[in-house]
Chain A
């Protein structure tokens, strides 16, 4: 996600490490790289400038800690600054008593407001709340319909004991510019209904608007003034460039927003908008959107984004995702095994199945330390994991327990059984052994070493399924070809 930025940081500080101490000149030099990296990551210019100035001031004033290399020390400083800038953490959704708590979503066209309404509703439903979503976008054709379908989807398929209701008045829709103002009435009736029917929360989905459109901005002000929503959330596309600052500022000046949700973080955007928006609004970034489905919403944790920026991966998110999927005891057992380096093929199979339930492989692997950038140009085909699973399934119980039993003839048998090639089996075993070794090493290390080991792992393609596996060609002509010729209709859990 923020891999490209971390590549740049790594490059900037590679030169720094080994020089013994932080001097003014090498800090400035490195910070020039950092500034460029930030700009390429779409951090707003002024924000980047101030950031670099602060870091330089911090670094130069500081004594070199003997035990650390200056590169690492700089990473610490940059990391801390990034976290400071994007924090503090506040993912709390304040609920009022008596309800309903009224949330208002706002933002530019296409930023992801309606989708995010569904995600928030799903989150609250999971927490046992009764939520009413109100369709106040009366100008985009079929926006009301979109929210209705979204809400129904959450109500039928979303987990949790809560409930999701929908309030829409499709008759009030009109062409662009003609329904301005009508949204206020729809919102009022929605909130009234929420109160009467004792909903815990009401979410207002407003129309997308440009911050320079005075008429439409006034409509939002009117909703805010007359209906005083408890929380106003600004939805921002994480792929936004320098303009993120202008729009966020304008929305904030008019509405005093309470929080920000950054969407489309599942893209390969470097996401510098996160820094910029936080900087100009001061409002906490509460959540990030990481997909189109209603469960693709994660709490925002600046240290993770900063971690990504610095190439330390996003292990915490990964663990959290895993926690949702794996039951406690199982997780404990797995952690134990990992810590002792006693992973076997059965665990691997179980892990793989769990992982695949969690989402597309590339996204998951991207969260691993140092792996993200290694994967940047790798086209991961989830079908390859079917093959891997097939191979493990064709192993005997003993073999799964101890891969050392495997040799040429057994590999041939496994290949036959799974419709693969013996060398694929061989490769899987090799990579598995590497992972085993890594986990053993990591188990006995502090944080510093872990990062190094993870990098090593990424470099060596030590992840089963990544690196040398078939079908995972690098980007360029190969990929284009495989895209063009390799299309295969597959049944997909994602339903798309």
Chain B
């Protein structure tokens, strides 16, 4: 069984909504020029501009210089394919599916720092699962932020899925406890848990998340089957910090890259990929519930370098 079966075509279409500042700028830069030091510096700059980070960029550019030195490529235009292939090599695998439990419910815990788009992402996942005919229970474990429970309740209502909620200020672990019971009792296929945004530097709040995880694991051995870290595509290098600390605390199994429909390139996932090997599993490309796609490394990298004219018209 798999969740999120979608044609690759749909993925590309979704990603095309992201504007390709990098691609267009780079293409006009490279056109008709020789790959000399100056040009390579400018290529380096555009990778930095995509939030890929200094370290990964330095490595990739090192490879590019080496290839130029060996005479493997010399024209500016060749650089794009080279960069793409080098980036793709870092993702030498097929898209990785959302984990599915041997026996339901599959428990998906959604975590992340404040304001990245956790609740909307939860709604998107729920919508897709519903469309695939699965039964879903939502747990509103963000009992802290004003209006967070109500926000998820509205989504639950629109999507026609069950919601387990506690009072404002209630212990989120207690809400999760009840939600697991409910998911078991209702024989739901998937339990989706929305948690409060928390900065990874807040040790107390991270402990609270560990406790939530423990509550789930005590009730269903092997759960949560998926711990998704929602990352804002506009996030800078701090994203790596987030992935590291959340990973250490609750064992992140995948990344949901949200808000990729702006001008941000989400390049931070390259740095995260290098450092932590955590796969990106889903991307968010808009505000509607349908605006979610499985992450396809090839499509993502192609989109990173797509020419502006290809994408601007569709968005």
Which residues of A are interface residues toward B (Cβ below 8 A)? Answer: 36, 39-42, 44-45, 108-112, 114, 139-143, 145-150, 153, 175-177, 210-212, 237, 239-244, 246-247, 264, 266-270, 272-273, 292, 360, 362, 379-382, 475, 479-480, 483-484, 486-488, 490, 492, 494-496
User: Given that A143-B147, A176-B288 are known contacts, is A239 also in contact with B238, CB under 8 Å in the complex?
Assistant: yes
User: By the criterion CB–CB under 8 Å, are A211 and B238 in contact?
Assistant: no
Asked if B211 CB lies within 8 Å of chain A CBs, one says: yes
Specify which of A153, A240, A242, A360 lies most central, judged by the most chain B CB atoms within 10 Å of its CB. Answer: A242
User: By the criterion CB–CB under 8 Å, are A45 and B48 in contact?
Assistant: yes
Which residues in B have their C-beta under 8 angstroms from that of A480?
Answer: 248-249
Asked if B146 CB lies within 8 Å of chain A CBs, one says: yes
Which residues in B have their C-beta under 8 angstroms from that of A45?
Answer: 45, 48-49
Known: A109-B115, A145-B147, A480-B248. 17 other contacts (CB 8 A): A109-B259, A141-B155, A145-B146, A146-B148, A175-B158, A176-B287, A239-B232, A242-B236, A243-B234, A243-B264, A247-B262, A264-B115, A267-B113, A272-B236, A483-B206, A492-B204, A496-B205
Asked if B53 CB lies within 8 Å of chain A CBs, one says: yes
User: Given that A40-B237, A483-B203 are known contacts, is A109 also in contact with B54, CB under 8 Å in the complex?
Assistant: no
User: By the criterion CB–CB under 8 Å, are B237 and A240 in contact?
Assistant: no
Asked if B314 CB lies within 8 Å of chain A CBs, one says: no
Which residues in B have their C-beta under 8 angstroms from that of A246?
Answer: 21, 262-264
Q: Mark B86-111, 1 if CB is under 8 A from A, else 0.
A: 00000000000000000000000000
Q: How far is the CB of B311 from chain A (nearest CB, A)?
A: 11
Asked if B59 CB lies within 8 Å of chain A CBs, one says: no
Q: How far is the CB of B115 from chain A (nearest CB, A)?
A: 3
User: By the criterion CB–CB under 8 Å, are A483 and B249 in contact?
Assistant: yes
Chain B, Cβ-Cβ closest to A245: B49
User: By the criterion CB–CB under 8 Å, are A269 and B238 in contact?
Assistant: yes
Residues from 108 to 156 in B contacting A, C-beta threshold 8 Å: 113-117, 144-148, 150-151, 153-155
User: By the criterion CB–CB under 8 Å, are B199 and A110 in contact?
Assistant: no
Q: How far is the CB of A172 from chain B (nearest CB, A)?
A: 15
Which residues in B have their C-beta under 8 angstroms from that of A212?
Answer: 19, 261-263, 315
Asked if B293 CB lies within 8 Å of chain A CBs, one says: no
Asked if B207 CB lies within 8 Å of chain A CBs, one says: yes
User: Given that A243-B263, A266-B199, A267-B113 are known contacts, is A150 also in contact with B54, CB under 8 Å in the complex?
Assistant: no
Which residues in B have their C-beta under 8 angstroms from that of A490?
Answer: 204
Ranked 6 nearest A-B pairs via Cβ: A241-B236, A110-B115, A146-B147, A42-B236, A149-B146, A141-B154
User: By the criterion CB–CB under 8 Å, are A142 and B115 in contact?
Assistant: no
The 21 sampled A-B contact pairs (Cβ below 8 Å) are: A40-B54, A142-B148, A142-B153, A146-B145, A210-B259, A212-B315, A239-B236, A241-B234, A241-B235, A241-B236, A244-B234, A244-B236, A264-B199, A267-B238, A273-B236, A292-B114, A360-B204, A483-B207, A487-B214, A490-B204, A496-B144
Kindly state the interface size class of chain B when it binds its partner. 35 or more
Q: How far is the CB of A467 from chain B (nearest CB, A)?
A: 17
Which residues in A have their C-beta under 8 angstroms from that of B48?
Answer: 39, 45, 242
Asked if B210 CB lies within 8 Å of chain A CBs, one says: yes
Q: How far is the CB of A388 from chain B (nearest CB, A)?
A: 17
In the bound complex, how far is the Cα of B248 from the Cα of A475, in angstroms? 10
Cross-interface CB contact of A240 among B49, B53, B200, B236, cutoff 8 Å: B236
User: By the criterion CB–CB under 8 Å, are B169 and A360 in contact?
Assistant: no
Asked if B202 CB lies within 8 Å of chain A CBs, one says: yes
In the bound complex, how far is the Cα of B206 from the Cα of A379, in angstroms? 11
Cross-interface CB contact of B241 among A110, A268, A382, cutoff 8 Å: A268
Which residues in A have their C-beta under 8 angstroms from that of B234?
Answer: 108, 237, 240-241, 243-244, 247
Q: How far is the CB of B16 from chain A (nearest CB, A)?
A: 13
Chain A, Cβ-Cβ closest to B55: A40
Which residues in B have their C-beta under 8 angstroms from that of A140?
Answer: 151
Which residues in B have their C-beta under 8 angstroms from that of A267?
Answer: 113, 199-201, 238
User: By the criterion CB–CB under 8 Å, are A145 and B150 in contact?
Assistant: yes
User: By the criterion CB–CB under 8 Å, are A146 and B151 in contact?
Assistant: yes
User: By the criterion CB–CB under 8 Å, are B262 and A269 in contact?
Assistant: no
Which residues in A have their C-beta under 8 angstroms from that of B113?
Answer: 239, 264, 267
Which residues in A have their C-beta under 8 angstroms from that of B262?
Answer: 108, 210-212, 243, 246-247
Which residues in A have their C-beta under 8 angstroms from that of B199?
Answer: 264, 266-267
Chain A, Cβ-Cβ closest to B17: A212
Asked if B51 CB lies within 8 Å of chain A CBs, one says: yes
User: By the criterion CB–CB under 8 Å, are B146 and A382 in contact?
Assistant: no
User: Given that A237-B234, A483-B203 are known contacts, is A153 also in contact with B146, CB under 8 Å in the complex?
Assistant: yes
Asked if B268 CB lies within 8 Å of chain A CBs, one says: yes
Q: How far is the CB of A362 from chain B (nearest CB, A)?
A: 7
In the bound complex, how far is the Cα of B248 from the Cα of A479, in angstroms? 8
Chain B, Cβ-Cβ closest to A276: B236
Asked if B257 CB lies within 8 Å of chain A CBs, one says: no
Q: How far is the CB of B46 from chain A (nearest CB, A)?
A: 9
Which residues in B have their C-beta under 8 angstroms from that of A292?
Answer: 114, 144-145
Which residues in A have their C-beta under 8 angstroms from that of B150?
Answer: 141-142, 145-146
